[in-house]
Structure 1
Amino acid sequence: MDINKVYHGFKLLEERPLKELNSIGRIFEHEKSGARLFHLENQDDNKVFSISFRTPPNDSTGVPHILEHSVLCGSKKFPVKEPFVELIKGSMNTFLNAMTYPDKTMYPVASRNDKDFLNLMDVYLDAVLHPNIYKYPEIMMQEGWHYELEDKNSELTYKGVVYNEMKGALSSPDSLMMRKVQESLFPDTPYYFESGGDPDFIPDLTQEKFVEFHKKYYHPSNSYIYLYGNMDLLKHLEFIDKNYLSEFDRISVDSKIAEQPAFKEEKRLVVEYPISPSEKEQDKTFLSLNFAVGSATDAETALAFEILEHLLLETPAAPLKKALVEADLGKDVFGYYDDSALQPTFSVVVKNSNEDKEEQFKKVVLDTIEKLVKDGIKKDLIESSINIKEFQLRESEFDGYPKGLIYNIQAMNSWLYDANPTLHLEYSDKLAAVKTALTTNYFEALLKKYVLDNNHRSVLIVKPKKGLAEKMAEELKTKLNKYKDSLSDSELQKIIENTKKLRERQTSVDSPEDLAKIPLLSLDDLNKKAEQLPLVEKAEKGVKVLHHPIFTGGIAYLNLYFDTTVIPKEKLPYLTILAKVLGKLNTNSHNYEELSNLINIHTGGIRYSGSDTYSKAGSADIFYPKFTVRAKSLVDKLPKLSELICEILGSTVYNDKKRLKEIIQEFRSRLEARMFDRGHLVAAKRVCSYFSQKAKYDELLNGLSFYEFILDLENNFDAKAEEIIDNLENISELVFNKNNLMVGITLDDKEYAAFSDNLNILTGCLNSDEVKSYEYDLELNKLNEGLMTSAKVQYVAKGYNFKKLGYEYNGSMQVLKTIAGLDYLWNKVRVLGGAYGSFARFEWSGNLVLSSYRDPNLAETLKVYDELPDYLRSFEADERELTKYVIGTVSELDYPLTPYMKGETADEYYIRGISQEDVQKERDQIINTKVSDIKGFADLVSKSMEQNCLCALGNEDKLKANKDIFGSIKNIFE
C-alpha cells in the first residue's frame, strides 16, 4: 500500500514488516473523523477487531466502568435491550467482551468466520457510537446503580450490577491492595480515582454526568481502532468509513493524561479491609513498597523491568523474595510490574504480615537491593530470567485470549500515550539491549535509578479490621433510612415509579422485529464435522506414548501422566502438596536455586499438578486421577529437559523443614486469595462433592477440604514436620513409577525421534516395582453448607447428578446450558437480581450445577434456580431464535486451540475413553436441537433441584439471616 494515500477515508501514515509477529503493521488516520487505526496483517484466521477510547476518570463513581457495561445495552441500529448477550448466544465469536482500565476502555471482538466478524464489528461500532443510554436512563440504573423501593413501607436500598461487582471486588484484600497502588503513587492524576467505581461513591453518579462522559470521550477523534489477522482490509476500511466514521467531523478531545510530578519523599497510605468478627487480625496485613518506573513509552525499560521483577521475586532463586522470606516478615512474598498506565509501577508485597513489621520490611527490601547493586546479580540468574521471557515472547501462545488481542493490549501501552503502537511489539532490539546485562551492570544500574535513588515511591499498608463490614452496613442503612425519611410523598412515589419502570424494562420482551436486526449466521455457516485431533498411540521402551504430530515451530510439549490410584485414600491431599514443592526443594545434585536457574535457562518451564481427574465417558462416579508433569522446551533441548525432570522426580530431597514450611505458608495464602475471587467455583465444587465421587475427590485435593487440610499443616507444622516429610517421600516413590506412566508428546513428525531417543533419560530415574492400586469409595453427604466470609456479596450454587435420577447425557444439554445461562439466569439473577454473573453447567458425567457470582441475594437466587423447570416447560423459540442458540453453543466447541491445547485435549479424550464418534455425536445433537428437546429437559432439571443440594459462600450476616436454608453454617477463614 502507498504511504500518504487515502483508502476509504483512511490515510496510510506508516507501513512496515514486524518480524517478531510475522506481520505487516500499518498505521492509518481517518481524515474526516480523526480516528486512529492500527492494522496487523498476517495469516492468523482468528481475526480481532477492537475500538478503544482514552477515558481518564475524575472521580470514583465508576463512570468509565458503568459506561463499558451500558453501551452494550442497545443502540440506534440494534435497539434490543442487550445486543451483547444476543451476540454471545448466537455468534461464532472466539472472544467477545469489554474491559475498563484506569485510563482506557476497550471493546474487542474476535472470530474465525468472515461474515460473523463483520457482524460483530457492526454491533460494537454502533454500540459505542450510538448507544441507547441517552434514550433510556434505566440502562444506567440497571448497570450502575439505582434506589430500589417497591412501596412506601419497604426498605430503601441500592442496587446495580457494577455496584455489586465492585462490592465483591473490593471485599478481597488482594484486589483492594492492587487497586490502591496507583492511588498511593499518583494522587494528582486520574489514577488516584477508582475507574471501576468505589461503592461508597458510585451512588454519586447522576444520569447527566453519565451521558456527559460518553459525549466527551466516545468520539472517533478520541478512538483507537485495531484490526488483526487474515482479512480483506479494504473491505473493512470501507465498511467502517461508510457506516460509521463518515458521519463524524474531527473535534478536539481533551483526554490527555498528565504525569504525576515526582515525589520529594516517600508517601504512606493505610487502608482497612473487613474481616469477620470471629477471624483473628494477627498475620493478615499486606505491606507493599511501590515505585513509579519511568514512562510507558520507554519500551526497553518496560521489558527490562518485566524481567527484573521475575528475577527478583518470582522464582525459587529470586534473591529479594528469599531475603524477605528468611526475614520472617510474612507468609507470602510476591511482586508485580504494571505497565498499563502512563507511569508504570513496580511493587514488592509481603502478605499475611503485621503493621509493626513495616520498617523492617522496607529495610530488608532496600538493603537487599543495595547489596545486589553493590555486589552484582548472579549472571546465571539473569540468564534464566531473560531466557524464560524470550521463550514466552517467541512462543506467542496465550491461553484464554486470542493472540491478536494480546498484541492489541500491548500496542495500547504506547499508542494511548501518543507513541507508536508498534513500540512494545517490536522487541528484538530491546531484548538485545537487555541481554547486555549478561556482561555488564545493566540491571544493577536500573535498580539504583528506579529503586534506591527514587523518592517517587509509596508504602501501602492494607490491614484487617473486625466489625468494619458491619459498621459500614449499618452506616449505609442509617444513611438510606435518613434519606428516605427526608423525602416527601411525591419524591418517594417517584422512586417507586422509577423502580417499577426499570422492572418493566427488565422484564419486557424484545420485539421479533428488533431481534431480527441483530445479524445472525445460518446453520449452513457452521462446520458440521467435528475437528479430528491428531493422536498416534505408540509403545516406546515399555511406556505408552500418545504422539500428536502437529507443527509447533520447533517447540516440544511434553505431558507425563502418572496414575495416582497407587496412593491410599488418607494420603491423597499430599499429592497436591507434592506438586507444589517439586522444583522448589533441593535435589541430590542441585540446590533449589540452581535448579530453578537451570530450568529457566534450558526450558520453557516445568509445571506439576497432583489433582487432575478425568471422568470416564458416560459415568457419574468412575474417574481416573493423575499426577501430571507439563513441560516444554525447544526440540534440541529435549535431552536437558529430560535430565531435569528425571532429577526432580527421582532425587528431590524432602527433609528441608524450613523450606517446606515456607512453601506451605505461601500456598495457603494464595489459596485464600483464590477463594475470595472465585467463590462461585468454591461453592459449585462443594455442592458437587455432596453427590459425586469425582467431585468429592477434587474437593479433597483442590477445594475447601484441601484448604482446611493445608491450614492444619501450617498451624501444626512443627509437630507434623516429620509426618509431612515421610508422606512426601512415600507418595513420590509410589507415584513416580514407570509402570504408572503414560506420556503425551506434541511435536512435528520429523522431530519425534528427538523425543524417543531421550525417553530412557526421562524414565531412568523412575521406580519400576510392581504397583498396587486402590479403589476409592469416598463418603458422600448432603451438607448444604453456608460458608461465611467478610465479603459483601454471595456466591450461590445448587445442583445434582441427573444420571443418578435415571437420565442420560445428550449434546442438546449444551444448548440448554446456553439458554439457561444467557437467557433465564442472565435475566433473573443478573438483570433483575443485580448479581455480576450467573452460570449453568451440564456435564457428560451427569453433574448439573447452577451458580451465581458477586450476588447481593441468596434465597431469591435459589428460588430462581427452582423455577428453571417452569421456564423450560413454557420455552418457545422460532427457527431463527433456536438457530442463534445453536450457533452460540457451537462457537464454544470451535474455540481455536493452540498446538499444545490440541495435544492436551486429545490426551484427555483418550484417558476418558471419548472417541471421535462420541465427539461427532455430541456435535450432531447440538446442531439438530429442537424446541421439544429443551422443553423435555424440564423434568430432569426439576428432579435435580428437588434433591435440594446447595451451598453458598458469602456475607456472614446474610448467611446467618438465612440459616434455615442450610444444614450448617461456618466461617471458612480463621
Structure 2
Amino acid sequence: MNYNLGKIYHGFKLHREEKVEEINSIARVFIHEKTGAKLLHLENDDSNKVFAIGFKTPPSDDTGVAHILEHSVLCGSRKFPTKEPFVELIKGSLNTFLNAMTFSDKTIYPLASKNEKDFFNLMDVYLDAVFYPNIYNTKEILMQEGWHYELENAEDELTYKGVVYNEMKGAFSSPDGVLMRGIQKSLFEHNTYGFESGGDPEFIPDLTEEEFLGFHSKYYHPSNSYIFLYGDGNLDERLAFINDNYLNNFEKKDIDAEILPEKPFKEMKEVVTEYSISNEDNEDEKTFMALNFVTGECTNDELYISLSVLEYLLLETQGAPLKQAILDANLGKDVYGSFDNGILQPVFSIVLKNSDANKKEKFKNVVFDTLKSLVKNGIDKKLIEACINITEFKLREADFQGMPKGLFYYMTAMDSWLHDGDPLIHLKYEKNMEKIKKALTSNYFEQLIEKYILNNNHSSLIVLAPKRGLADEKDKKLRTGLKKYKENLSVEEIQDIINETKSLINRQNTPDSEEILETIPVLSIDDIDQKVEELSVIEEDASGVKLLHHDAFTSKIAYLDFMFDSRTIAQEDISYLSLLTTLLGKINTKTYSYVDLSNEILINTGGIYFKNEVYGDSKDVLRYSTYLEGHCSVVVDRVPRALEILADIIKNTSFEDKKRIRELIRVLISRIEMKLMDRGHQVATTRLGAYFSPAYEYIEKTSGYEYYKFLKEIENNFDDRIDSVILKFQAIMNKVFNKNSLIVAVTGKDEEVSAVKKNVSEILEVLSDEEVQINKYSFHEENKNEGMLTPSNVQYVAKGYNYKKLGYEYTGKLLVLKTIIGMDYLWNKVRVQGGAYGAFANIVRSGNFMFASYRDPNIKETLKTYDNAAKYLDNFTTTDREMLKYIIGTISELDMQLTPSMAGDAAVSYYIRRISKADRQQERKEVLSTTVKDINNFSKLVADVMKMNYIVVLGNDGKIKENKDVFKNLENVFN
C-alpha cells in the first residue's frame, strides 16, 4: 500500500517517509491527530515483528516510582484483569521478546513475535495495561511490586517487603552499580538525571499511593507516548487497531515532561561516598573512582557516534592508550570506560577499580596528562582505523546478541526522539561514519578530547571507598527505625498493617478464576509449527580436517570456530587452560605487540577471541566434551587475512611480558567479582552443579568460584608463581593446538565455506601433527552445602540434583514442567509472595535439575518452597485451555529467535552433544502431547531431587550466619 504525506490513516497523519539504507527499511513518521501520540514505522521483510510503546517518565525523587509503575501496570487491566497478565502471556504466547524496561528518563514496553495473530494479542494486552491498569482499584499491586509494611502477627518484627524494593537492594549491593548510579547524581544537580529512576531502597518506602497514581495519570497518556512498529506486517491493520481500540478514547493533553539541560559547572565536582564490604575483608585496593564528563546533547548525531568510537579507542581496545597509562601508573587493577548516550546530555566516564583513596590526585593527573599528550602528539592512526572499522562492522552486522533488531532500532531512535529530535538521525549512521573517517588524516579525535574532556568543567570525580560492615550497619539502622516506628503505633494502627498484610497475602494466594484467565487471548494448537527448525551441520572435509558447515545467509560474513579438543591436557591443568584462552590474542606474539595485534584484528575482522567451551552429552550423564575454541567473524573477502592472524596467535604467542599477564589476570578477577555481586544466581548454580555433575565441575574450574580462587592465588603470589604458570601455558599449547584434534565450524553460505577451505592451510601449517592422547577425567561427587558469604543485601538460593542419576529419563514433557514450575509455582511463591526479584527452574537433557532465586530476601523460606514443589505437582490441575498455554509458552522458548551466528553455534552444539533432528522432533512431539497427568507424575522425580538436599546460597553474610544450620560449610567469598 502506498502512503501519501499529509494524509490521515486511521487517525494518524503521515508527516514523513523515506528509505533508510543502513537498516534496509522504509521509515514513516506519524502523528495521531486527536491525541498527539507519535508513531514510527519501519517497514522491511523481517518476519520478527516488533511493537513498542514508551513514555517520557522523568522522576523527581529517589522513590523509584517510574520503575514500580513499569512492574505494576502489568499486574492486571481493564480488559485483562488477571493478577499477572505478563506471566500469562509468557506462558501462552509465541513471543520472541516480551519485557518492560525503565531508563533514567523513559519507560518502554516492547514485544516481538513472528506470528501475526500472536502479535495482535500481545499488542492488545500491552496497550490495555499501560492505559487502563488496575492500579487505581487494587492497592495491593503497589504493595506487592513496590513496597509495603509486612506484619502477619502483632508480636512479629515489622519489615519492608516488595519486588522492586528487593530488586534495588540487590542492585545497590554491587559497587559497580552504586558507582554508576552515583555518576549521574554527581553531574545533574537540578534536573531529573540526578534522581534514581529505579529507586533507592532507602527512599522507596517514601512513595505514597497518591504519588504513585499521580505519576501514572500524568505521564501514561497518548499525548506523551512514542509508539513503534517494525517488520513485514500490514501497517494499515495495525494503525486501525491502535486507533480504534485505544487512542480514539483519549483527548490531547498538555503534559509537562520537558527535561531541561543541566547548566555547565564552573569547576569539577568531587564526591566521596562508601560501599559495603564484609567485616572480615581487607579495605586495601578496594576503592573505585570515576572521572565523568557531560558531553553535548544526544540530538547531535555526529557526536553521538564519534564519542562512542573515542571511548572504545581510549579505554576498550587491547593497550588502549588511556587505560594503559592508568594501569602502568599502578593506580588500580582494572580500568574501563562508559559512554551513556541514551540521555539528554550524554556522559563520558573513565572508571578505575581496585585502587586506594589516596591515589585520587594521581588518577586525575595521569588521565589529564595522558590526554594532553595524545592531543599534542596525535593518536596512532592505525588505532583510529581499527576502532572505526570495528564500529562500522558491528553496525552493519546488526547482530545484537539475540535482541530483536527492531527493538534495538526503537531504543536507538528513542535516544533522540524523546527529546524532540529526529527519530532517524542515529539510524542513518553512514554520513557520520564518513565524517569520522576524516580522523585518519586529521586531528578529529584530538579536538574531541580537548573540547569535551580537557576543557570541560561540567565534570565530576567520584571516589567510592569500602567500609567494613556498612551493609550490616544499614540493616541494623533500618531494623531499629522500624522497631521504633512500630512502638509508636497504636493497637489500631498495628492491626491495620496486619489486615493489609493479610489482604495482600490473600490476594496472592487466591488463583484467578477461569473466567478471568480466559480474558487473556490464546493461540490454538494449529498456530504452532509441528516441525522443528532446521539447525543442522553438513560434514565436509577441509584439507583432511573435519569441517562443520551450518548453511545460513550472513550478509557475506563468515562466522568461524576452530575447535581443539582440550581433553589432551591433564585434569589438574583445566584452570590454566581457561586462563590461557583469556590471554590469547591479548598479549604479544613474536610478530606483533599486543597493541599492534589488536589493531590488525579490528581492522581486518569483526573480532577474534578464544574461549573454553564444554558440551554436556545428551545421552550419558557422565560424558561431556571440552574444546579450546578460536572464534572469528569476518567479511568473506578478508578470510585469508583473518586466518593469517589466527595462525600467528597460535604459533607465535609470547609469554615474556609478565607485566601484561598480571594486568589481564587482575582485570579478569575484577570482572568475576562484578559477576559475584550482580549475577550471583549464575555463580550459585554453577557451584551447585559441580557437586554432582562432571560437566559443571569443569565449568566451575574454568569460570566459576573455584576459578576465581585459582586466579586470586596466582595474583597474590604472582612473582613466585608466574614462571611455572608460563611453563604450563607452553605445555598446554603444544598439546592442544594439534591438527588431529581440530574441528572447523563455519556459519555462512557456500562462498564463505569456500573461502575457509582455500585458506585453512594457514592454520594447519602451524599445528602439531603428533598422535593425540585423550585424557579421562575423574569425578568425585560431594555434597558440600555451602553458604557463600558476601556483603550483598540479598541472596541467591540454589538447590538441585541430577535426575538421571536417580533413575529417571529425559522427555520433552520436562520442558513443560519447567514452564509450569517457573512461571506459576516459583513466580507466585518466591517472587510474588517471597519478594525476590526472580526465580527459575533449570531442567536439561543431561539430567541436571536446579531451582534458583535472584535477589532474594529469604533463605529457609525459599528452600521450603523448593521442597514443597512436589506437593504442588501432586495437586496440580488446570483446564485444557491453560494447559495449552503452558505448551505454547514452552514451544516459544524452543523457537527462540536466533541470529545467524547464534544458529550456527546451536547447530554445532547439537552435533557435539549428539542431539539429532529426530531427537529434537521427538522432544517437540512430547511437549505438544503433555497432559496434566504427565505433570502430576513428575512429582516423585522432583521430590527425589529435593531429598538429595544439595544446596548453595550466595549472599549477605549476616543472613547466612543467622541460618547457618542449613549449611555444612560457610565460605567467605572475598577473604
Shared fold (TM-score, shorter chain, > 0.5):
yes
Q: Secondary structure in 1 aligned to 2:567?
A: coil
Aligned partner of 2:74: which letter?
A: L
Deviation at 1:396, TM superposition (A): 0.6
Q: Deviations over 1:553-609 (max 9, x none)?
A: 111110111101111011110111111111111111111110000000000001111
* 2:625 aligned counterpart, secondary structure: strand
1:842 aligns with 2:848: no
Give the secondary-structure state (helix, strand or coil) at the position aligned to 1:347: strand
For the Cα contact (< 8 Å) 1:33–1:220, is it kept in 2?
Answer: yes
What does residue 694 of structure 1 align with? 695
1:511 match:
513
Residue 763 in 1 paired to residue 744 in 2?
A: no
Any idea what the Cα deviations from partners look like across 1:458-493, whole Å, max 9, x if unmatched?
Answer: 001111101211111111011001000100011111
Q: Which amino acid aligns with 1:811?
A: G
- Local SS of the residue matching 2:534: coil
Pairing of 1:726-741 with structure 2 (within 5 A): 726-741=727-742
Residues 241-269 of structure 1 deviation map (CA, whole Å, 9 limit, x = unaligned): 00000010001000010000000000011
Is 1:132 aligned to 2:143, yes or no?
no
Query: 1:534 Cα deviation (Å)?
Result: 4.2
Q: Is the 8 A contact 2:536 2:908 kept in 1?
A: no
Q: Contact (CA 8 Å) 1:28, 1:37: kept in 2 or not?
A: yes
- 1:205 paired with 2:207, answer yes
| Inter-partner Cα distance in structure 1 for 2:553 and 2:971 | 52
Alpha-carbon distance in 2 for matches of 1:2, 1:364: 58
CA distance in 2 between counterparts of 1:60 and 1:400 reads 32
- Whether 2:712 is the aligned partner of 1:711: answer yes
Aligned-pair CA distance for 1:770: 1.4
Structure 1 contact 7–234 (Cα < 8 Å) conserved? yes
Q: Match of 1:379?
A: 381
Match of residue 496 from structure 1: 498
1:894 counterpart residue number:
895
Contact 2:636 2:751 in 1 (8 A): no
User: Does 2:395 align with 1:405?
Assistant: no
Tell me the secondary structure at the aligned position of residue 52 of structure 2.
strand
Q: Displacement, 1:317?
A: 2.9
The alignment-based identity, stated in percent, is 53
Q: Deviations over 1:95-128 (max 9, x none)?
A: 1000000100000000000000000000000000
Q: Hey, what does 1:351 align to over in structure 2?
A: 353
Q: Could you say which residue in structure 2 is the equivalent of 1:942?
A: 943
Q: Within 5 A, what are the aligned runs for 1:177-576?
A: 177-576=179-578
- Please give the alpha-carbon distance, in whole angstroms, between the structure 2 residues aligned to 1:257 and 1:618: 58
**Higher mean displacement: 743-752 or 809-818:** 743-752
CA distance in 2: counterparts of 1:373 and 1:656, whole angstroms: 28
- Contact 1:317–1:597, Cα closer than 8 Å, also in 2: no
SS where residue 690 of structure 1 aligns?
A: helix
Q: What secondary structure is seen at the aligned counterpart in 2 of 1:565?
A: helix
**Structure 1, residues 935-959: CA drift from partner, whole Å, max 9, x if none?**
1100000011000000100111110
Name the structure 2 match of 1:798.
Answer: 799
Judge conservation of contact 1:739–1:771 (CA < 8 Å) in 2: yes
Paired letter, 1:656: D
The residue type equivalent to 2:836 in the other structure is A
CA–CA distance in structure 1, aligned partners of residues 488 and 289 of structure 2: 43
Query: What is the CA distance between 1:779 and its match in structure 2?
Result: 2.3
Amino acid at match of 1:172: S
Contact kept? 1:686, 1:699, Cα under 8 Å: yes
Question: In the aligned structure 1, how far is the partner of 2:551 from the partner of 2:877?
Answer: 46
- Give yes or no for the alignment of 1:13 onto 2:15: yes
Deviation at 1:730, TM superposition (A): 0.9
Match of 2:970 in 1: 969
**C-alpha distance in structure 2 between counterparts of 1:777 and 1:740, whole Å:** 21
2:750, 2:291 → 1: CA distance? 50
Tell me the residue number matched to 2:649: 648
Deviations 1:14-58 (A, max 9, x none): 000000000000000001111100000000000110100000000
The Cα shift of 1:778 comes to 2.2
Aligned with 1:261: secondary structure? Answer: coil
> How far, CA to CA, are the matches of 2:800 and 2:780 in structure 1?
18
> 1:830 is aligned with what amino acid?
R
1:164 and 2:166 equivalent? yes
Alignment-derived partner of residue 824 in structure 2: 823
Gaps in structure 2 of 5+ consecutive residues: none
Give CA deviations for 1:302-333 in whole Å, capped at 9, x if unaligned. 10011111100101131001101100100001
Assess if the C-alpha contact under 8 Å between 2:402 and 2:898 holds in 1: no
Match of 1:951 in 2: 952
Partner Cα separation in structure 2 for residue 687 and residue 588 of structure 1: 42
The answer to whether the 8 A contact 1:293-1:345 is kept is yes
Give the alignment's Cα RMSD to 1 decimal.
Answer: 0.7
Runs (4+) of structure 1 exceeding 3 A deviation are none
Q: How does 1:636-675 map to 2 (within 5 A)?
A: 636-675=637-676
How far residue 655 of structure 1 moved from its aligned partner, in angstroms, is: 2.2
Q: Report if the CA contact (8 A) 1:550-1:749 is conserved.
A: no
After superposition, the Cα gap between the structure-2 partners of 1:576 and 1:492, relative to the gap in structure 1 and judged at 3 Å, is same
Distance 1:105 1:448 in 2: 35
Deviation per CA, 1:247-300, whole angstroms, max 9, x where unpaired? 100010000100000000000111211110000110011111000010000010
Q: Is the 8 A contact 2:605 2:634 kept in 1?
A: yes
Corresponding residue for residue 24 of structure 1 = 26
Give the C-alpha shift of residue 667 in structure 1: 0.6
Q: Which residue is equivalent to 2:113? A: 111
Structure 1 unpaired stretches of 5+: none
**CA displacement at 1:389 relative to structure 2:** 0.3
Paired residues of 2:276 and 2:471 also in contact (CA < 8 A): yes
- Work out the CA distance in 2 between the residues paired with 1:382 and 1:966: 54
**Partners of 1:930 and 1:347 in 2: how far apart?**
54
CA contact (8 A) 1:63 1:205 kept: yes
Residue aligning to 1:903: 904
1:69 aligns with 2:91: no
Change (3 A) 1:750 1:180: same
CA contact (8 A) 2:469 2:791 kept: no
SS of the equivalent of 1:585 reads: coil
Match of 1:776 in 2: 777
Kindly provide the CA deviation profile for residues 844-876 of structure 1, in whole angstroms up to 9, marking residues without a partner as x. Answer: 010000000000000000000000000001111
Shift of 1:496: 0.4
| TM-score after normalising by structure 1 | 0.99
Alignment-derived partner of residue 852 in structure 1:
853
Shift of 1:752: 2.6
The one-letter amino acid paired with 1:640 is R
Shift of 1:700: 1.1
Cα distance in 2 between the residues matched to 1:477 and 1:897 = 48
CA shift, 1:750, in A, is 3.6
Name the CA distance, whole Å, in 2 between partners of 1:962 and 1:718: 40
SS in 1 for 2:631: strand
For the Cα contact (< 8 Å) 1:169–1:677, is it kept in 2?
Answer: yes
Cα deviation for residue 400 of structure 1 reads 2.6
How many Å separate the matches in 2 of 1:262 and 1:526?
A: 56
Name the SS for the 2:841 alignment partner: strand
Instruction: Write the distance in 1 (CA, Å) between the matches of 2:877 and 2:489.
Output: 44
Query: How far apart are the structure 1 equivalents of 2:552 and 2:868?
Result: 47
Q: TM-score, structure 2 length as denominator?
A: 0.99
Q: Is the 8 A contact 1:286 1:353 kept in 2?
A: yes
How many residue pairs were aligned?
973
Q: Distance in 2 between matches of 1:536 and 1:172?
A: 45
Q: Per-residue CA shift, 1:506-552, capped at 9, x if unaligned?
A: 11111111111101101110000001124210122121000122221
Contact 1:534 1:550 in 2 (8 A): no
Deviations 1:618-642 (A, max 9, x none): 2211000111111011100000000
Which secondary structure state, in structure 1, belongs to the residue aligned with residue 546 of structure 2?
Answer: strand
Q: Which amino acid aligns with 1:464?
A: P
